[in-house]
Amino acid sequence: MRLKWSRLDNAAKIYPASSTKTDTHVFRFACELNEPVNPEILQSALIDTTAIFPVYQYILKRGLFWYYLESTTLTPIVRQEYKPPCNELYDRNQKTLLYEVTYFGNIINLEVYHVLTDGTGAMNFLRILVSKYLSVVHSLPEPEIDYDASHMQMADDSFKRYYNNKPLKRHRLIKEHTKAYRIKGPRFAENRIKIIRGMVSVSEILKIARGYNSTLTAFLAACLIQAINEEITVMSKKYPVVLAIPVNLRNYFKSESARNFFSIVYTGFDSCVDNIPFDEIVKKVNNDLKHELTVEKMSDNLNLLYSLERNFFVRIAPLFLKDIVLKFAYSRASAQSTATLSNVGIIKLSDSIAPYIKSFDVCTGTNRLQVCICSYLDNLSVNFTTPFISSDIQRRFFRKLTDLGLEVEITANQIADE
């Protein structure tokens, strides 16, 4: 069952307007196997998987007032990786699917345009794809996946479902957001982005985080804030270092949507003081997150964003005008944070196929600094993507981890003129 066309969900509406050649809003989930990938089997596994997710068989089109998704009969083709990671997937002059599956050596890559879905949706897709692929390759019975949603549940715009039209408490929502510190510096040619991924042991790092009375996300956020803080020039110290942290709303509101359903919370630290003790940063970040991560706050935020979409004047503005306004709104919003830290969480797969998988990782296209975290078994992958040539923040971050006694395994992509 597939809808002929569909509106974009509330969060997706900003992406087509604000996508650029570096900030592509394309993210990549990669699964590294213990053996080379067989493209023919991957292709047939992909076709089987698309049958489960008709919600991704769409192309993006421009209407007079809004973008919309139109159902398509295009079939995805598995290819060997042929272009830089997280490159643009949407071309307004060409009909293309909004996701792509590629492979290289032992790695299966799934790249998805954020208009289609968020990390949770893409992760479910990749989990099923990998399960199907491995069960064919090793002639295993296909494992049950703990994802249960009807096609209609998948296509659900959960922002709409949980919008309650409550009068907004303006003073609480529109806080005096000051401008955050912005990372600057020379960039790679051709809008290439640099990926530096560190692998650490989940159990080891959890032990250390617990030692600071902190959650894992808050601990890594604190490490990142400290790393950025140490790189700030004296002139920029008037700006605080702020991290934007996307939150999966499915943990707060019941939803099986395979489309976008997330919100963003902020945490930060003033950069004006020199040599801030690390445990103070950890404490501040934990407090911020505890304060922000409540159902009420999430609901307020959702109401604010959805009410904007429902506004009559917003609705009747023609698309080219909306594009300009949304682009501006996006740049205003991104000026409020220095970097984004996104924890996709634990990726679970059936025990029967676990021996064939080495690790998972996530990264995304960006025009500033983006850190994506995910874990599989005991492997925690912390993935930095950035268009900047300098890798000093990454160096400080990973040296911080090694100084705490962790073993870190680094993987990085090689860019031609590096």
Partner 1 sequence: MKSCVKCKVTVRGNRLNCPLCQNSLTGTGETDIYPHIPTIYRQYMKFFKFLAMGTISLGVIAIMLNIMLPQSGYWSLFVVCGIVCFWIMLAFFIPKRNNIPKNITYQVFFLAIFSLIWDYITGWRGWSVDFAIPIIFIVGIAALSIIPTLMKIPVSDYLICLVADALFGFTPFLFLLLGKVKYVYMSYICITLSILTFISLLLFERNNVLNEARKRFHL
The contact set with partner 1 (CB under 8 A) reads 4-5, 7, 61, 63-66, 68, 70, 80-85, 93-94, 104-105, 107, 189-190, 194-196, 198, 315-316, 391, 394-395, 398-399, 402, 407-414, 416-417
Q: Which of 127, 135, 111 is nearest to 346 (CA)?
A: 127
Report in angstroms how near the CB of residue 116 gets to partner 1 at its nearest.
18
Indicate the residue among 274 and 417 with the shorter CB distance to partner 1. 417
Pairing of strands 379-386, 369-376: antiparallel
Report in angstroms how near the CB of residue 67 gets to partner 1 at its nearest.
10
Indicate the residue among 93 and 139 with the shorter CB distance to partner 1. 93
Q: Cite the DSSP H helix spans in 293-373.
A: 295-310, 312-316, 319-334
Indicate the residue among 64 and 234 with the shorter CB distance to partner 1. 64
Longest dimension (CA), the chain: 61
Q: 115: burial class by Cβ within 10 Å (0-12, 13-18, 19+)?
A: buried
Q: What are phi and psi of 317, to 5 degrees?
A: -70, 135
Report in angstroms how near the CB of residue 387 gets to partner 1 at its nearest.
15
Report in angstroms how near the CB of residue 312 gets to partner 1 at its nearest.
9
Report in angstroms how near the CB of residue 399 gets to partner 1 at its nearest.
6
Q: Which helix (H) or strand (E) holds 158?
A: helix 158-161
Report in angstroms how near the CB of residue 409 gets to partner 1 at its nearest.
5
Indicate the residue among 80 and 150 with the shorter CB distance to partner 1. 80
Cβ–Cβ < 8 Å for 309, 153? no
Report in angstroms how near the CB of residue 397 gets to partner 1 at its nearest.
9
Indicate the residue among 68 and 278 with the shorter CB distance to partner 1. 68
Cβ–Cβ < 8 Å for 362, 381? yes
Indicate the residue among 61 and 327 with the shorter CB distance to partner 1. 61
The C-alpha atoms of residue 37 and residue 103 are separated, in whole angstroms, by 7
Report in angstroms how near the CB of residue 305 gets to partner 1 at its nearest.
18
Indicate the residue among 265 and 389 with the shorter CB distance to partner 1. 389
Instruction: Provide the token pair at 338.
Output: 């220095």
Residue 100's SS3 state is: strand
Indicate the residue among 198 and 365 with the shorter CB distance to partner 1. 198
Compute CA distances 115 → 292, 334, 381, whole Å: 25, 18, 24
Compute CA distances 289 → 133, 161, 262, 286, 373, whole Å: 38, 25, 15, 5, 17
